[in-house]
Amino acid sequence: MKLFSTCVAVLAFAAQALAQDLAVRAELVHTVSGEPLRNGVVIVRGGKIAAVGAQANTPIPAGLRVLEAKVVTPGLVDAHSVVGLAGYLNQAQDQDQLDPSAPIQPELRAIDAYNARERLIVWLREHGVTTVHTGHAPGALISGQTMIVKTRGETVEEAVIVPFAMLAATLGADSRASGEKSPGTAGKQAAMLREALIGAREYQRKLAAAGDDAAKRPERDLRKEALVALLERRVPLLVTAQRHQDIASALRLAKEFELRIVLDGAAEAYEMLEPIKAAGFPVILHPPLARFAGELENASRATPVALRDAGILFAFQSGYEEYVPKTRVVLFEAAIAAAHGLGPQGALKAVTLDAARILGLDQRLGSLDVGKDGDLALFDGDPFEYASHCIGAVIEGVVVSEAVR
């Protein structure tokens, strides 16, 4: 039985790895990078987009499988989630998104906790979400690493495209400890982060001084190794900060240590538009349907428009909330923003191309352009219309869902 199961898994992986050559015809094709195409077609070969254009002048080669839809968009990109670590059961065995044993744990790898077979991943895929930035959740000063995956596969190796994408940190009430534990105040939070980064800088200096001499190298420290990746700007610090003073602390820390950061949540970002713009950091905004309470008590559904008008790059996320173990769908979150002034084109861009830009993958994902991954979402109507359904999803040329959601 074990041998049989192994063979089945290998065959499933092989079948999935072989991209199909296919075409998708639609009454409306949202390329996102350009104007929508009426009566358009997208052709995928070898897992990549080979052609996009009007049906009248974009012939479909013989032998290709042809899918039909009212509307086709790029595969949706969830800019921040904990799916695959936090599961649908909301029980101890499927809640690996946060380890409360210590406030700073940058060495925790997302790939070691990701469950590629989690049912919520299937749920997202069936709603057209083809790429997810996921990993350790907000709730600790540094909770661990994040990664970027495609919503496919039976193993993390089949899903992952960036194994270490960002380092997740939280400023504000959500990462403060109770009683006499640290960090108990905003000042202590900043001091602990500063101390950890200074220690990592010294570790970095010793590594550089040792060069190739193994005898002089300091004893390996996984925690400091992860923080050195921040100092060397190989990965950004994903800072969940909702209130304006915590956003300001994040910007100050980034300037002090010359870090790349991505602001996460940012409920009061509308109070900090000028400094965020000046710093040049993007924002992964809280879900517009989140409860505006606690740290989000001053949140506003007008924030997406304010960020857009200020010229600040932003995207939407499904996010994480303890009372909602079931993951959100970024398409529905974007629809709320579309109705509050962002408009459908701006909302779609925030869950496709702009999300890909924040993740550093816009040369590969986020729009229907020749040469990019053949990731598509198919709909039977306007994606932001309540009565519409996602009727299919394609990842790198492989049809991964034909469910109607």
The domain that contains 280 carries what CATH number?
Answer: 3.20.20.140
Same domain for 91 and 56: no
Same domain, 171 and 280: yes
CB-CB neighbours of 65 under 10 Å: 13
Find out whether 329 and 125 touch, Cβ atoms under 8 Å. no
Instruction: Clarify whether residues 64 and 93 are in a common domain.
Output: no
Which of helix, strand or coil describes residue 33? coil
Quote the pLDDT of residue 330. 97
On whether both 137 and 37 belong to a single domain, the answer is no
Do 30 and 141 fall into the same domain? Answer: no
Q: What is the CA 114 to chain-centroid distance, rounded?
A: 14
Tell me whether residue 162 is in a domain.
Answer: yes
Supply the range of the domain harboring residue 238: 76-358
363 is a domain residue: no
- pLDDT tens for the chain, 405 residues long, are 444 344 434 444 444 445 789 999 999 999 999 999 999 999 999 999 999 999 999 999 999 999 999 999 999 999 999 999 999 988 888 999 999 999 999 999 999 999 999 999 999 999 999 999 999 999 999 999 999 999 999 999 999 999 999 999 999 999 999 888 999 999 999 999 999 999 999 999 999 999 999 999 999 999 999 999 999 999 999 999 999 999 999 999 999 999 999 999 999 999 999 999 999 999 999 999 999 999 999 999 999 999 999 999 999 999 988 777 679 999 999 999 999 999 999 999 999 999 999 999 999 999 999 999 999 999 999 999 999 999 999 999 999 999 999
Distance CA 23, CA 16 (A): 18
Domain boundary among 358, 377, 392: 358
What pLDDT was estimated at residue 325?
62
Asked whether 377 and 72 are in contact (CB, 8 A), the reply is yes
Distance (Å, rounded) from C-alpha 90 to C-alpha 141?
23
Are 40 and 161 in the same domain? no
The residue among 239, 114, 107, 108 whose CA lies nearest residue 168 is 239
Contact 253, 234 (CB under 8 A): no
CATH number, residue 58: 2.30.40.10
What's residue 7's pLDDT?
44
- Per-residue confidence (pLDDT) for residue 298, from 0 to 100: 98
Q: Are residues 154 and 285 in the same domain?
A: yes
Same domain as 94, residue 70: no
SS3 311: coil
Tokens of 213: 């001499």
Do 142 and 199 fall into the same domain? yes
pLDDT, position 216: 94
The predicted pLDDT at position 232 comes to 98
* Cα distance between the two ends of the chain: 35
Check whether residue 197 and residue 48 sit in a common domain: no
Angle (CA) 149-73-349 rounded to 5° is 75
The enclosing H or E element of 278 equals: helix 273-279
Number of structural domains found in the chain = 2
> Does any domain span residue 133?
yes
Quick one: pLDDT at residue 72?
A: 98
The answer to whether residues 90 and 209 touch, using CB atoms and an 8 Å cutoff, is no
* CA-to-CA separations, 56 to 27, 38, 65, 172, in angstroms, rounded: 12, 10, 18, 56
* Inside any domain, residue 154: yes
Give the single-character DSSP code of 339: I
- d(CA 346, CA 32) in angstroms, rounded, equals 9
Same domain assignment for residues 62 and 26: yes
Neighbouring-strand partners of residue 131? 77, 150
Q: Are 162 and 109 in contact (CB under 8 A)?
A: no
What pLDDT was estimated at residue 18?
A: 58
3-state secondary structure of 240: strand
| 217 and 201 co-located in one domain | yes
